[in-house]
Structure 1
């Protein structure tokens, strides 16, 4: 196991009473509570993904369908105050290159993805319209974006991203469309899902939790310095067995910064090229700042005000520094039409039961199993 400076044993006798962990772990768990997808929306996202795959499975020359992305990996976030943005479920089909003989770099004609992606779009939409009359499907750079236009009572309207992957001839993985450049690029989304959902369960769960927290920090600015896949790759590279959640997150950030400083992150499946970063210096700096703040919190783990002050810049919407509720919980309360009140602990509000927004729910085992 990686030994990281500043990390104390979580059985230390000077931890606050009533918990086997320090305040840092408690606050990280509370951040996760606030960014955890709603159960009903998560179930609906999976159902819509499965409906999309069922429709796509009947397309010409499909060998198999698959689930991928953050929901399948157990690393999806959907903050309580941003629920109207909704979840996005990734999935795909693997096309038989023997049926689609003119497609891709392995064929003599090397036909680009534009035509087959458009045919798949028409096919899937025609089959989804019976259950989702207002469904709309648009072609993006890599996939088909399926918008169902059928919001839940909470206002959430989960979508799906469907990739038309082409079987490769003599190599693992798939050829993935790049519709902007009318070419195919290698990738292996199925292998990524296998790696992120593999046993042992303890490592898988801790890794997923660390990734979700790191993704939330990455999104605290309008343009995150890293793509979500880069963060997941760091989780695979640096989260090891027997790590506690704060230690796993610290490893992801600190070791990730060191690795990214010397090279672009390689594809965990060793199929595609290195993961692109728009501004590597900025990304390394953000990782180092995050690691430093978490290390500082852990070094003062029995001082709750200090820990909150150290962590608040990383998740400004989710960590309350002066008591009361976080900005995210207050915003969710206002959106739900509830009244706010001031008490001895600060500004707070009560959740609206009719909206289904759970503002103070206990942490659940999201990410324990594949999605």
Structure 2
């Protein structure tokens, strides 16, 4: 068997899931069309991009894109908590998007009704072959009176508006990409795969918010994973992750805290075990442990023979070769959980 280092396994894994250039180019083209429609609908607005495409950590298949318009003071007048909700603004956005994009995208639908935060655009045409569609969330946001962050729609609460700062979020992520020589994005790609294959304990933004606190310099990917899982497990012990921009409330989990931390602890321990196996010359055992963290993109292997050989060598080392020495009783065990 062609044995690979943990570093090589992770490089292969990230390439297996990262978005392709063709997917990304088409997604950005459609995003530009939407941005143009929003600029026409709201002259003087600031268009901002967020989400995985803007943050440089999109995986394949690529199914959506996110953008918003920070409205000018004139367009925002009369909107906000205690004033009008965002429905008239969302209708304005819907009309502009339909007018600008429906000729190219014959199956385009633009939905406002029942939407919590953003206008939902369904293009009726995927950017990844085999996917049912490609969508966009288009936000109509207004400046916060303090000058820090925005009010974004939340049609499910009485105030109808929430505070958030997506522009700062994107800036923080892009700064992290520069500081880490893009290790941040590569690690986040892998972490999103871990999350998806382990019952989604965290939302994608929670992963990135936690990573901002600990993946802050170039490092090997295996160390980035180890650093993240250790930090995330410890940090969530103090409560939900705070908003990195210091504007919105804590980031909610997708499951009870104890269960989310259990998954993080298991991943932390499996990564540590993989590193230990590799440092002691057991590449198959290392790969097996890592495959538990990143199933499907790190192939599993049968490391039983390798572990049995390790135990035999360990027994020989303990007993020596002199006459009269008796080998201790050794019960073979796996180095990983069943």
- Quote how far apart the aligned CAs of 1:199 are: 6.2
| The one of 290, 293, 301 aligned to 1:314 | 293
Matched, 1:181 2:181: no
CA distance in 2, matches of 1:73, 1:253: 21
Matched, 1:239 2:239: no
Matched, 1:114 2:114: no
Q: In the alignment, which residue of structure 2 is the partner of 1:304?
A: 283
Given that 2:118 and 2:137 are in contact with CA atoms closer than 8 Å, whether structure 1 keeps it comes out as yes
Matched, 1:155 2:130: yes
Q: Classify 1:279/1:62 alpha carbon distance in 2 versus 1 (closer, same or farther; 3 Å).
A: farther
- Quote how far apart the aligned CAs of 1:246 are: 1.3
CA distance in 1, matches of 2:247, 2:275: 37
Q: Classify 1:57/1:204 alpha carbon distance in 2 versus 1 (closer, same or farther; 3 Å).
A: farther
CA distance in 1, matches of 2:151, 2:10: 38
Given that 2:27 and 2:127 are in contact with CA atoms closer than 8 Å, whether structure 1 keeps it comes out as no
CA distance in 2, matches of 1:39, 1:209: 16
CA distance in 2, matches of 1:194, 1:66: 11
CA deviation profile, 1:317-362 (whole Å, cap 9, x unmatched): 2222239xxxxxxxxxxxxxxxxxxxxxxxxxxxxxxxxxxxxxxx
| TM-score of the pair, normalised by structure 2 | 0.81
CA distance in 2, matches of 1:199, 1:131: 37
Matched, 1:96 2:72: yes
State how 1:265-280 maps to structure 2 within 5 Å: 265-277=241-253, 278-280=255-257
SS where residue 100 of structure 2 aligns? Answer: helix
Given that 2:63 and 2:126 are in contact with CA atoms closer than 8 Å, whether structure 1 keeps it comes out as no
Given that 1:217 and 1:315 are in contact with CA atoms closer than 8 Å, whether structure 2 keeps it comes out as yes
What value does the CA root-mean-square deviation take over the aligned residues? 2.2
Q: 110-119 vs 199-208, which deviates more?
A: 199-208
CA deviation profile, 1:101-136 (whole Å, cap 9, x unmatched): 21003xxx5211223212322221222112222211
| The one of 229, 238, 242 aligned to 1:253 | 229
Q: In the alignment, which residue of structure 2 is the partner of 1:286?
A: 263
| The one of 198, 215, 226 aligned to 2:192 | 215
| The one of 1, 13, 27 aligned to 1:31 | 13
CA deviation profile, 1:265-311 (whole Å, cap 9, x unmatched): 11111111111124111111111111111111011114221122102
State how 1:48-59 maps to structure 2 within 5 Å: 48-59=30-41
Matched, 1:165 2:141: yes
CA distance in 2, matches of 1:228, 1:151: 22
- Quote how far apart the aligned CAs of 1:148 are: 0.9
Given that 1:145 and 1:159 are in contact with CA atoms closer than 8 Å, whether structure 2 keeps it comes out as yes
CA distance in 2, matches of 1:235, 1:257: 12
- Quote how far apart the aligned CAs of 1:50 are: 1.0
CA distance in 2, matches of 1:122, 1:69: 24
Given that 2:141 and 2:152 are in contact with CA atoms closer than 8 Å, whether structure 1 keeps it comes out as yes
CA distance in 2, matches of 1:199, 1:214: 16
